[in-house]
Amino acid sequence: MSSADWIAISPLIAVAAAAVVVMMLAAFWRRHAIVAAASMIGLAVALFCVLPARSAAPRMVTGLLAIDEFGLFYVGLLLKGSLAVAAVSYGYLRARGRDAEEYYALLLTATLGCVTLAVSAHFVSFFLGLEILSVSLYALIAYTRERARSIEAGIKYLVLAAGSAAFLLFGMALLYAEYGAMGFAPLAKALKASGGANVYMLAGMALILVGAGFKLAAAPFHLWTPDVYEGAPAPATAFVAGVSKVAMAALLLRFLTQLGATDSRPILIALSALAVASMFAGNLLALLQRNVKRILAYSSIAHIGYLLVAFIAAGPMGAEAATFYLAAYMITTLIAFGVVAALSPRDRDADAMEDYQGLFWRRPWMGGAFVAALLSLAGIPLTAGFIGKYFVVASGIGSALWALVLILALNSAIGLFYYLRSVVAVYARPGEEAKAADRAPGFSLAGGVALAVLGFSLILLGVYPAPLLRLIQTAIASL
Amino acid sequence: MQTVWPLFVYLAAAAAVPAGMIMVSFVLGARHSDRATGEPYESGIVSTGSARLRFPIHFYLVAMFFVIFDLEAVFLFAWAVAVRELGWAGFAEALVFIGVLVAALAYLWRLGALDWGPKPFARLSHSRHKDS
């Protein structure tokens, strides 16, 4: 490896080193504030390392990692998301008041898995990144181990993620058996040489889509989502929903684009089926929920459906729309779960609708942020979610996917109902009981700053998306 | 599909073996219900006591550490067979790998996970009082 290679992967090295440093701090200098600060500094250093890495790009490091504009864009996005999760976690864990230190080490290893996924261009790094992410998430989801729900969520995720990893491996093995290549680029070459799709290729791709669909929580592989979102501590839920899905989607985008898989009709049909099933399952089941975390879980399933429409739309326009959508989705999800974390008392998460009754009158800023997140999820103008949805619809129309676009519009209308129902609760007059119980024990200065920055970006992207779009265009051009 | 049929034959054979075993033992097996039929067979000796013993929880913890650290040796063996080809760069990478393992061991030691006794994780419970 040359020194340029080291510079290219310096963000990954920084995150890995930060995880070890945080573990050592947890052992030898066990103070929550110090460990939290160290992990945030580590993530910030990794974020800073993206700049020199960009100057070394594009570059294949060891045949496993493709450090290009696309990968580094997602690395930056994931690191920012992770930083926000760490900031929000601080207040939440302080309110819980016990054994908070290991959480940050797990958060950093999970982030390492995410950034590995974003830059991997080989089945080996794909699986490695996925496993680093998954194993960290098992522990993060079950972190509040005094709550039975949390343990249940962790075990459910463990069993289902292990099962989906088996599907994924079998799919990779089939593709390798047929084409003798594990890197995405050699695989694409072998695929072209053999003259298009055959039964091995389709079976392999189907199995890989099952594995990826599980991580993305696309219907019909979404069954774990509501239970895990409900049981996991709110900041960990924010990570699962906001950061890990973005990483998986980035990898899938690279994989499908490089293989030219969207030229294959059966794969398009499979992706369309996933998209339609996710949109309907997410939105219709969300209507039945009263628990805020479960509503957000079903809403995230629906959003993966919208995202898949952009995946199906051919060409760079689809990839750009998907990338913008993911950025907007990550910001929005982090705000929503960040507010849940800030409001959570010591012994449970603030996931009942009553916790949000009149939030706007009690805490105008937090209520405002929560409403902004809900409106962005619904796709109301002046928010990032609207621009994201606009690009997805535009890319769908550009590829003449009329049926999918119509279903997307119909589902947005259904979704509006449960988002607005939550908004109404936030603006309702608070009862005397709620006023008396008004506390935000999980709120910290760091979390407040993170929520403010996220909220600001949400509005900024909604009214002035041009700079991010330019960045995304250079990223997609390198794919 | 022409080349896939051996797979289906294999699947059928794989299903037939356990199904056959169960069928044969169902047909040939003796069916009787005596006083001792439901009792566990311990080489002809009547078993005494309950099988539900209470192990110290530490037993599992130490067993888990053993498995984890033992497994890491596998990676070192993989490096060892190619040590000359990999040169100093490979040596440095193996050092980093071992360094992370040592850090993990130091973490476990400081946390009290290696102490055998009635009060493990003394440090965890101590810090709980200090921080909350």
Residue A81: which residues within 8 A CB-CB, separation 6 or more? A239, A242, A243, A246, A330, A334
A27 contacts on B by Cβ (under 8 Å): 106-107, 109-111
Contact with chain B for residue A97, Cβ under 8 A:
yes
DSSP string of A22-66? HHHHHHHS--HHHHHHHHHHHHHHHHHHHHHHHHH-SEEETTTEE
- Could you tell me the sign of the dihedral formed by the alpha carbons of B36, B39, B41, B45, in that order? negative
Mean pLDDT value of segment B86-108: 92
Assess contact for A218 and A301: CB atoms under 8 A.
yes
DSSP string of A170-221? HHHHHHHHHH---BHHHHHHHHHHTTS--HHHHHHHHHHHHHHHHHHT-TTS
A28 contacts on B by Cβ (under 8 Å): 110
More reliable by pLDDT, A382 or B33: A382
Chain A interface test: which of B2, B4, B75, B127 (most A C-beta within 10 Å): B127
Cross-strand bridge partners of residue A67: A59
**Using CA atoms in the order A144, A150, A152, A156, what is the torsion angle rounded to 10 degrees?**
-100
Q: Cβ of A24 and B103 within 8 Å? A: yes
* Closest chain A C-alpha to B108 CA, distance in angstroms: 8
Per-residue pLDDT of chain A (479 residues; tens, 9 = 90+): 788 899 999 999 999 999 999 999 999 999 999 999 999 999 999 999 999 999 988 889 888 999 999 999 999 999 999 999 999 999 999 988 888 899 999 999 999 999 999 999 999 999 999 999 999 999 999 999 889 999 999 999 999 999 999 999 999 999 999 999 999 999 999 988 887 668 888 999 999 999 999 999 998 999 999 999 999 999 999 999 999 999 999 999 999 999 888 788 889 999 999 999 999 999 999 999 989 999 999 999 999 999 999 999 877 889 999 999 999 999 999 999 999 999 988 888 888 888 888 888 888 999 999 999 999 999 999 999 999 999 999 999 988 899 999 999 999 999 999 999 999 999 988 776 666 666 778 889 999 999 999 999 999 999 999 999 999 999 998 88
Number of Cβ within 10 Å of residue A48's Cβ equals 14
- Spatial separation of the C-alpha atoms in residues B122 and A416, rounded to whole Å: 52
Confidence of residue B32 (pLDDT cuts 50, 70, 90): confident
ipTM for the complex shown: 0.85
Confidence of residue B132 (pLDDT cuts 50, 70, 90): very low
User: What's the domain range around A314?
Assistant: 3-477
* From B100, B110, B131, residue closest to A27, measured CB to CB: B110
Nearest residue in chain A measured CA to CA from B88: A1
For residue B125, the model assigns a pLDDT of 47
Which positions in chain B have a beta carbon within 8 angstroms of at least one beta carbon in chain A?
1, 4, 89, 100, 103-104, 106-107, 109-111, 123-124, 127-128, 131-132
Helices marked H in A287-383:
292-312, 315-343, 359-362, 364-378
B107 contacts on A by Cβ (under 8 Å): 23-24, 26-27
Assess contact for A124 and A215: CB atoms under 8 A.
no
Tell me: pLDDT of B131 over 50. no
Assess contact for A39 and A22: CB atoms under 8 A.
yes
* From A1, A27, A30, residue closest to B106, measured CB to CB: A27
Assess contact for A253 and A322: CB atoms under 8 A.
yes
Nearest residue in chain B measured CA to CA from A30: B127
Number of Cβ within 10 Å of residue B15's Cβ equals 10
Q: How far is CA A68 from CA A116, A261, A301, A457, in A?
A: 13, 21, 29, 25
- Spatial separation of the C-alpha atoms in residues B124 and A234, rounded to whole Å: 23
More reliable by pLDDT, A86 or B130: A86
* From B100, B109, B127, residue closest to A30, measured CB to CB: B127
Nearest residue in chain A measured CA to CA from B108: A27
Residue B120: which residues within 8 A CB-CB, separation 6 or more? B58, B61, B112, B113
* From B103, B109, B124, residue closest to A23, measured CB to CB: B103
- Could you tell me the sign of the dihedral formed by the alpha carbons of A233, A235, A241, A247, in that order? negative
* From A1, A24, A98, residue closest to B107, measured CB to CB: A24
| In chain B, domain spans | 57-131
Contact with chain B for residue A32, Cβ under 8 A:
yes
For residue A98, the model assigns a pLDDT of 81
Assess contact for A239 and A336: CB atoms under 8 A.
no
Q: What is the DSSP letter of A122?
A: B
Contact with chain B for residue A12, Cβ under 8 A:
no
Assess contact for A64 and A126: CB atoms under 8 A.
no
Number of Cβ within 10 Å of residue B61's Cβ equals 16
A77: closest CA among A38, A118, A40? A118
B5 contacts on A by Cβ (under 8 Å): none
Phi and psi at A62, nearest 5°, equal 55, 20
- Spatial separation of the C-alpha atoms in residues A138 and A96, rounded to whole Å: 19
For the purposes of burial, counting CB atoms within 10 Å of the CB of B51, is it exposed (0-12), middle (13-18) or buried (19 or more)? exposed
Phi and psi at A198, nearest 5°, equal -125, -175
CB pairs under 8 A between A and B: 34
Contact with chain B for residue A26, Cβ under 8 A:
yes
Half-sphere exposure of B78 (CA within 13 A, CB side): 8
Tell me: pLDDT of B64 over 50. yes
At residue A252, the 3 state secondary structure works out as helix
Assess contact for A450 and A44: CB atoms under 8 A.
no
Q: Which residue has the tokens 């790009």?
A: A57
